């Protein structure tokens, strides 16, 4: 029963997908172990991935920052920070988790499994960073950086060429939650035009502070524009 529970994480399959051989298999298994699993299986004495996620966050940041610093020699600090913010967002990291089949090999508690934790963005993003932490401990920074840059290369090129579709709502939420536990709230404050050509005006607020407005042909587009304006007002993004 114990082996059956733990082997829900297919380590050999993970190694093949990563293209990396781990001498310490437990390290790789820990990277895909959500805290809910050991909480529900205390007798297994298995560690969750939170410490590896903490380490991997720094490894990812340094790898991306170093690459951008060397590649974009004429870019100011602000531009580098914008590019990095997109690349290390939860949305992008969750996408990488799916690409690496981490979602299929997570060790989750029964409660998280039932409530869709295997596809939850925050869990997937954390597991990706935990993998980076495990790679760093197993192979060192040079190899971990090489893996990360290879994984993000297409995204980096898209961002630098202006082709990347920025998720401003995600960026805004992650920005404000660094210093606050509050979440930006979006409200339609005006609807313009006939039904077949309606425009929506959305305002985003944080607590009682109005951060920005946006207009679009759909509520979703208006929210994105409002989030972008908020980022500009917070000096995170400059007008393009």
Distance CA 68, CA 62 (A): 10
195 catalytic per annotation: no
CB 229 within 8 A of CB 237: no
Query: Facing residues of 214 across strands?
Result: 202
Out of 57, 112, 203, 223, which one is annotated catalytic?
Answer: 57
What is the token pair recorded at 131?
A: 């993998």
For helices 121-139 and 50-71, give the axis angle rounded to 10 degrees: 80
Residue closest to 87 by CA, chosen among 124, 49, 58, 60? 60
232 is in an annotated binding site: no
Out of 48, 112, 129, 203, which one is annotated catalytic?
Answer: 129
Instruction: Classify strands 199-206 and 185-192 as parallel, antiparallel or unpaired.
Output: antiparallel
53 is in an annotated binding site: yes
Distance CA 111, CA 190 (A): 41
179 is in an annotated binding site: no
Distance CA 182, CA 66 (A): 32
CB 227 within 8 A of CB 237: no
What element of type H or E holds 95? helix 90-99
Residue positions forming the annotated binding site: 53, 126, 129
Q: Which residues are part of the catalytic machinery?
A: 57, 129
Residues annotated in the binding site for Mg(2+), as ranges?
53, 126, 129
């Amino acid at each position: 029963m114990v082996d059956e529970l733990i082997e829900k994480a297919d380590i050999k399959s993970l190694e093949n997908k990563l293209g990396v051989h781990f001498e310490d298999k437990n390290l790789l298994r820990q990277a895909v172990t959500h805290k809910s699993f050991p909480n529900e299986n205390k007798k297994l004495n298995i560690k969750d991935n939170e410490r590896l996620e903490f380490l991997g966050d720094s490894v990812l940041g340094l790898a991306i920052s170093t690459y951008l610093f060397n590649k974009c020699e004429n870019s100011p600090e602000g531009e580098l920070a914008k590019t990095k913010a997109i690349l290390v967002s939860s949305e992008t990291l969750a996408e990488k988790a799916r690409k690496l089949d981490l979602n299929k090999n997570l060790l989750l508690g029964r409660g998280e499994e039932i409530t869709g934790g295997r596809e939850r963005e925050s869990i997937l993003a954390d597991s990706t960073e935990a993998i980076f932490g495990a790679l760093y401990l197993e192979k060192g920074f040079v190899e971990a950086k090489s893996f990360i840059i290879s994984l993000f290369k297409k995204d980096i090129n898209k961002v630098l060429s202006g082709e990347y579709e920025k998720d401003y709502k995600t960026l805004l939420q992650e920005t404000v939650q660094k210093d606050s536990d509050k979440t930006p709230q979006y409200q339609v404050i005006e609807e313009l035009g006939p039904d077949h050509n309606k425009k929506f005006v959305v305002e985003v607020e944080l607590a009682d502070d109005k951060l920005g407005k946006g207009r679009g042909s759909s509520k979703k587009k208006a929210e994105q524009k409002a989030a972008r304006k908020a980022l500009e007002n917070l000096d995170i993004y400059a007008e393009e």
